[in-house]
Amino acid sequence: MINASLKQLAAALAAKKISSTELSSLFLDRIEALNPRFNAFITVDRNRTLAEAKHVDARIAAGESGPLLGVPIAHKDIFCADGWRTTCGSKMLGNFTAPYDATVIAHFKQAGTVSLGKTNMDEFAMGSSNETSFFGAVKNPWDEAAVPGGSSGGSAAAVAARMAPAATGTDTGGSIRQPASLCGISGLKPTYGVCSRYGMIAFASSLDQAGPMAPSAEDCALLMNVMAGFDEKDSTSLEREKEDYTRDLDKPLAGLKIGLPKEFFAEGLSSEVAQSIEAAIAEYKKLGAVTVEVSLPNMGLSVPVYYVLAPAEASSNLSRFDGVRYGHRTSDYKDLLDMYEKTRAEGFGAEVKRRIMIGAYVLSHGYYDAYYLQAQRIRRLIAADFAAAFKQCDVILGPTAPTPAFNFGEKAADPVAMYLSDIYTIAVNLAGLPGMSIPCGFSGNNRPIGVQLIGDLFSEAKLLNIAHQYQLHTDWHTKMPEVLK
């Protein structure tokens, strides 16, 4: 059961071979056994999970059916979930219990999934290694000396170690795709606006997007069917017809035009990653795809542009954490201003403070035009680069991350080296496009490598198709870390 796909789990539940309570207990036992080692979960609450499972078992007994009914999954601790402690990886929210459900969580409840708990993450989703979490870093199930990636590193590690069959993540600059790549699982960042951001704690609102993380593309498609959809509570949610993201999974790939951006295969890419990507390209050619070289001339500006825009939005979003209404409040203060200052000094970690300061700076009078406005202009050029590339190809393929998982401490002292982990993912968020990472190989020291697929707006079903066809013909996504054997 631990290694079953979501489809298999749902079938076993529907056939009453196992109850949701039994299945959830199985995963809770695994979490209890493995989480002390990997720290993938911040909050586990057996009673709450089992109460949810019991409720769903009653729905199954009453004759209800559904593609994920009774399946337990884990949620990134950025989603507010009614009655669950919701920390966003920060001391600031260490004592916060959400009084309502994020829309994504509400969708999962309707679909009858059970929450296995809240997964660890970089503080306020700022990071690429999980080292910024107030609750301690997550370890990579493939190698405990290695980071799991970030910020959705807890979700990625939970799935890789099968402490959960699947998990939710969020991606502002790569936080679903990069940890998926480093932990050897599949992850999809949808088009901006496809999944509601309501109740998802905001980092950079114009970039944040929720998405699925699971062993396979087929699992991701099933999760997308639940997660996506218009929400009137989110003003940036798109009013579109409901899609079935599994509809194209079985389409053959003959004639598929894959664009290879020359900027993705230049300096900075590790040779091991490059080799695995080449092998993936060769596999796609066997499946009938053809490749064309494309160019994204402004891609090199995406990291600097992101580190102006994302901190600008973060500095505004995080101003709400002031110790007044909820979250951490300093115990000892003279007056209101002193309370604000001490609360924020104590509640936020170093990376969050760095971003708030950068954000306040680039938005300040005198610098706004030079930094913020200029970055917005370049953001538009980056989106135009992609639009031009998609005139020549159906999908863009490249690495997800420049290297396999790096070691703890390796980049923690050098923010710019850390920021460059997202060099291949960030432009996708700036352009609002969907992107996916799937496993495609291993480094010499047995750390997973992911290949990234980037599609035009609303091409999620196509990306899932392209990923699924690859997974039908390869077995990278079925490989398991030592801990499972």
> Does position 196 bind ligand GLN by CB under 6 A?
no
Residue among 174, 184, 187, 404 that touches ligand GLN (CB under 6 A) = 174
Which range, of 65-73, 122-130, 393-401, 465-473, touches ligand GLN by CB under 6 A?
122-130
Nearer to ligand GLN, 149 or 455 (CB): 149
> Considering CB under 6 A, how many residues would be counted as binding ligand GLN?
13
Instruction: Report the run of H or E that residue 14 belongs to, with start and end.
Output: helix 6-14
Structure tokens at 98: 């959400």
> Does position 460 bind ligand GLN by CB under 6 A?
no
> Does position 125 bind ligand GLN by CB under 6 A?
yes
Nearer to ligand GLN, 234 or 422 (CB): 422
Q: How far is the CB of 355 from ligand GLN (least distance, A)?
A: 8
Nearer to ligand GLN, 21 or 151 (CB): 151
Using DSSP bridges, classify how beta strands 290-294 and 114-119 pair: parallel, antiparallel or unpaired.
Answer: unpaired
Neighbours of 259 (CB within 10 A): 23
> Does position 89 bind ligand GLN by CB under 6 A?
no
Q: Are 88 and 57 in contact (CB under 8 A)?
A: no
> Does position 155 bind ligand GLN by CB under 6 A?
no
Is 54 marked active-site? no
* DSSP codes, 430-468: HHT--EEEEEEEE-TTS-EEEEEEE-STT-HHHHHHHHH
Is 319 marked active-site? no
- Window 292-321: contact mask with ligand GLN (x via CB under 6 A): ------------------x-----------
> Does position 347 bind ligand GLN by CB under 6 A?
no
Using DSSP bridges, classify how beta strands 186-189 and 435-442 pair: parallel, antiparallel or unpaired.
Answer: antiparallel
Structure tokens at 48: 């709450």
Instruction: Report the run of H or E that residue 183 belongs to, with start and end.
Output: helix 177-183
Q: Which of 151, 152, 186, 443 is catalytic?
A: 151
Which range, of 22-30, 49-57, 119-127, 360-368, touches ligand GLN by CB under 6 A?
119-127
Q: How far is the CB of 104 from ligand GLN (least distance, A)?
A: 15
Helix (H, G, I), strand (E, B) or coil at 49: helix
Which range, of 124-132, 238-246, 294-302, 442-450, touches ligand GLN by CB under 6 A?
124-132
Nearer to ligand GLN, 141 or 174 (CB): 174
User: Buried b / exposed e across 141-161, counting CB within 10 Å, b at 16+?
Assistant: bbbeebbbbbbbbbbbbbbbb
Distance CA 138, CA 42 (A): 10
> Does position 66 bind ligand GLN by CB under 6 A?
no
Residue among 171, 218, 248, 460 that touches ligand GLN (CB under 6 A) = 171
Q: What are phi and psi of 318, to 5 degrees?
A: -85, 0
- Give the residues across from 75 on adjacent strands: 118
Count of H-run helices and E-run strands, the chain: 15, 11
Q: Kindly give the residue spans of alpha helices, DSSP state H, lying in 39-162.
A: 46-61, 103-111, 153-160
> Does position 112 bind ligand GLN by CB under 6 A?
no
Residue among 103, 168, 175, 469 that touches ligand GLN (CB under 6 A) = 175
> Does position 461 bind ligand GLN by CB under 6 A?
no
Is 151 marked active-site? yes
Q: How far is the CB of 128 from ligand GLN (least distance, A)?
A: 4
Residue among 113, 115, 151, 181 that touches ligand GLN (CB under 6 A) = 151
Which residue, among 245, 38, 49, has the nearest Cα to 156 in the 3D structure? 38
Please give the residue whose beta carbon sits closest to ligand GLN in the complex: 175
Q: Are 404 and 448 in contact (CB under 8 A)?
A: yes
Write out the catalytic residue numbers.
76, 151, 175
Contact residues toward ligand GLN (CB under 6 A) are 125-128, 151, 171-175, 203, 310, 422
